Amino acid sequence: MALVIFASSLSFKTHAEELNTNDVLTAEEKITADAEKAKADAWVEGKGLAEKYTTLDDDGKLAKNKYKIDAYHKSGDTAWMIVATALVLLMTIPGLSLFYGGLARRKNVLSVLVQCFAVTALMSLLWVIYGYSFATAGDGKIFGDFSVLFLKGITPDSMSGTFPESVFVTFQMTFAIITPALIVGAFAERMKFSAVMIFLVIWFTFSYCPVWHMVWNPNGYLASTWEAIDFAGGTVVHINAGVAALVACIMLGKRKGYPNSPMPPHNVPFVLIGAALLWVGWFGFNAGSAVAADGAAGMAQLVTQVATAAAAFTWMMVEWSAKGKPTAIGLATGAVAGLVAITPASGSVGPMAAIAIGVAAAVVCYWAATSLKKKLGYDDSFDVFGVHGVGGIVGALLTGVFAFSPEGKEIIKNQFTGQLMSVLVTVIWSAVVTFIAIKIAGALCGGIRSDEDAETEGLDVKDHGEEGYSL
């Protein structure tokens, strides 16, 4: 879990064999070092965490080098987390925007881009007003509290482990942005813009924030009761959003003409560019969830690359075998499926397990996005449930199978039950909240569905008074 790593990163890391034991602090440096240690200890005690910085020697021996290493560690962590934050924001704008925009029909491309852009702005504001507090604060099992409402008490000196808390707030803000944005792809081309905004506000408040709290707050229900493993968001982000996407598209109904009229993507290069940006940005998503510039981040980066490559290649081969040709859309979709599936496992599996997870995700998600979707007859415009919902479930369950011990030896841990419970709770919670949120949005907007004329002409003109292309 991100918060477990976040807490463990407080442990002071030294390499005694590399230190010069004769290097002693001056009086002024000793005062500075003691002040830094006191600040760290105060933060740890305030958060109720057990681990503390290593106590400096009373006589000052080793202290100077320890202080230097600690300062370097903190500055390195801060720099990495700022970069990781930018990478995750890249995933939504422009990554997801281009991916979804390319999959849309030409008359709806702007509507999809605008929804992703508007969600980015809206969720940024909600996160700092109450979302961060409601998700992360408090000792409740399901809900956070409002002790950090409006980011109360967070200053430039506030720390989250080895880097400023302001950076952690912004990093988690990017997760809060992309999760609701993912849902947009399920009901694209047929939902009123006003209804989209109202629905996502409700869903963010009562599904995203509580699931975040249950999984990533150490006192949360899934974390404390079931020891759920979700390093970077398999349940919090992907299953949560994927289930919401399925419920929303079923409640909305099918697009006019679906499935009898062809609805091909209008810009396949957009899709590939968007998928490529998602792939690159995902290193911030997964490696950034180590919340430190350390070995855990390095391994998360490695397994993310390996699993994604395995999934993309597997999807290509499965599609080639089934349909006679490997498509660009299929290759891009397979890559996203691999990224989704490795997300919960990226802090607890090795490269070979990552390959297995990537292959499994490609096969199961391909089946879900083709056979299962056709059999059940729902219109998930861009296969959000088939890729994110199903891929997140595959990844969460296989995390319990392939997780390795802290020493690095791969073992099959007795975690499958905990992972299964985390999946079931997330599925039920998100489905119930989505159903209620859609009903409320419909009541406030006079229905959630765009009218027939708007669907025929396209939402670009009807909702925004603009066209994506002027030819």
**b/e map of 185-208 (b: 16 or more CB within 10 Å)?**
bbbbbbbbbebbebbbbbbbbbbb
Residue 219, burial from CB neighbour count under 10 angstroms (0-12, 13-18, 19+) = middle
Kindly compute the dihedral angle of the four CA atoms of residues 277, 282, 285, 289, in this order, to the nearest 10 degrees. Answer: -150
Task: Count other Cβ atoms within 10 Å, centred on residue 438.
Answer: 24
What the block records as the tokens of 364 is: 């199961």
Domains of the chain: 2-71 (no CATH), 92-464 (1.10.3430.10)
Relative to beta strand 159-160, strand 163-164 is antiparallel
Residue 344, burial from CB neighbour count under 10 angstroms (0-12, 13-18, 19+) = buried
Phi, psi of 264 (to 5 degrees): -75, 155
* Closest of 153, 116, 150 to residue 132, by C-alpha: 150
* Closest of 192, 203, 187 to residue 123, by C-alpha: 203
DSSP states along 294-318: SHHHHHHHHHHHHHHHHHHHHHHHH
C-alpha angle with apex 343: 115 to 356, nearest 5 degrees? 130
**b/e map of 281-291 (b: 16 or more CB within 10 Å)?**
bbbbbbbbbbb
Q: List per-residue pLDDT tens for the chain, 471 residues long.
A: 443 333 334 333 333 333 333 345 555 655 555 655 555 454 444 433 333 334 444 444 444 444 444 554 567 899 999 999 999 999 999 999 999 999 999 999 999 999 999 999 999 999 999 999 999 999 999 999 999 999 999 999 888 888 999 999 999 999 999 999 999 999 999 999 999 999 999 999 999 999 999 999 999 999 999 999 999 999 999 999 999 999 999 999 999 999 999 999 999 999 999 999 999 999 999 999 999 999 999 999 999 999 999 999 999 999 999 999 999 999 999 999 999 999 999 999 999 999 999 999 999 999 999 999 999 999 999 999 999 999 999 999 999 999 876 554 554 555 888 999 999 999 999 999 999 999 999 999 999 999 999 999 999 999 999 999 986
Phi, psi of 378 (to 5 degrees): -85, 155
Identity of the amino acid at 353:
A
Identity of the amino acid at 7:
A
Token match 């802290």: residue? 406
Task: Count other Cβ atoms within 10 Å, centred on residue 58.
Answer: 7
3-state SS class at 164: strand
Q: What is the reported pLDDT for 75?
A: 78
* Closest of 233, 243, 458, 418 to residue 339, by C-alpha: 233
Identity of the amino acid at 354:
A
pTM: 0.84
Q: What is the reported pLDDT for 465?
A: 93
